A = this chain, B = another copy of it.
Amino acid sequence: VTRPVIALLTDYGAGSEHVGALHAVVARACPAADRIDLAHDIPPGDVRRGAVVLARLAPLLPPGAIVVAVVDPGVGGERRGLAIGLHAGGALVGPDNGLLAPAAGRLGADRAWALPTPPGVPATFHGRDVFAPAAAALALGAAPLGTPIDPAGIVRPHLPAPRVAAGRLEATVLGADRFGNVELLAGPEDLAAAGIGIGDAVRVDPAGAGPVHAATVARTFSDVPSGALLVHVDSSGAVAVALNGGDAAARLGAATGAPLAITTAGGARPAI
């Protein structure tokens, strides 16, 4: 007999009482569940980052896992609540604001429901009051929870496509992790399309946020000297800029959502 799995992804902050409330609500409604903290440090309100991270992590979970995902700056407003049933079993539960769509796309969405907001529920904590209870009910085998809707109609996040030219890749900064790795909305196929490969000397231009920097396209941190910048395909399959032994985000000053360009040939601005 396997226990149900309920996984949590939020922007509530690790160790916050809001995360604790989700755990308590799930444990009370579904005591047998194995609760997994997927991520709680999504920057507040950054739906795009949450959506990308969720799409990476959800496929790693045990089959049948139910995910509660809450990055929900529009809570209490018009956006719908969603439960999405997945091909291989399991479900995604959260706001219909783009957060769930990439994971649903990757895992295959069978069915979806718009979740009702129970009367009398406070307007600002649907994680505790709507989504966690819905996930626990699903884990217990509850019948569909709301109004069936077309999975094709759920909101998708805005993920700007990279701009590729010979020797140049310009992409949007998704964000940075604790180590200061700057992740871009671009993959190895985009680097390849730009003709940029391992060993190339490149310039990294954070588009007005600061000076242009020299970097090397490499496989991993230790392929460049300590203190040097590298461009690599990170463990999630994204193009990223890192600093061996340091914090690339701090050095570059690259802001989440801003464009960043990687060029092989002499760019318009000199590198430092």
**A13 interface neighbour in B20, B23, B41, B129, Cβ under 8 Å:** B41
CB pair A220 B75 closer than 8 Å: yes
Q: Which residues of the partner chain B approach A61 to less than 8 Å between Cβ atoms?
A: 24, 27-28
Which residues 14-28 of A have a CB within 8 angstroms of B?
Answer: 14-21, 23-25, 27-28
CB distance from A17 to the nearest CB of B (A): 4
Are B38 and A20 interface neighbours, CB within 8 A? yes
Q: Of B21, B45, B122, which one neighbours A60 at CB under 8 angstroms?
A: B21
**Nearest CB of B to A51, in Å:** 12
Tally of chain A residues near chain B (CB < 8 A): 65
Proximity string of chain A (6-40) to chain B, C-beta cutoff 8 Å, 1 when within and 0 when not: 01010111111111110111011001001011111
Q: Is the CB of A28 within 8 A of B62?
A: yes
B177 touches A16 (CB 8 A): yes
A-B residue pairs in contact (CB < 8 Å), sample of 14: A13-B178, A14-B16, A16-B178, A17-B177, A19-B39, A21-B60, A23-B37, A27-B65, A28-B63, A75-B221, A76-B223, A122-B233, A122-B235, A125-B234
Q: A27-B36, A76-B223 are in contact. List 15 more A-B contacts (CB 8 A).
A: A2-B31, A3-B31, A5-B31, A13-B14, A19-B37, A20-B38, A27-B62, A27-B65, A45-B245, A76-B220, A122-B237, A123-B232, A123-B235, A124-B235, A129-B235
- Which residues of chain A have a CB within 8 Å of any CB of chain B? 2-3, 5, 7, 9, 11-21, 23-25, 27-28, 31, 34, 36-41, 44-45, 53, 56-57, 60-63, 65, 73-78, 122-125, 128-129, 177-179, 219-223, 232-235, 237, 245
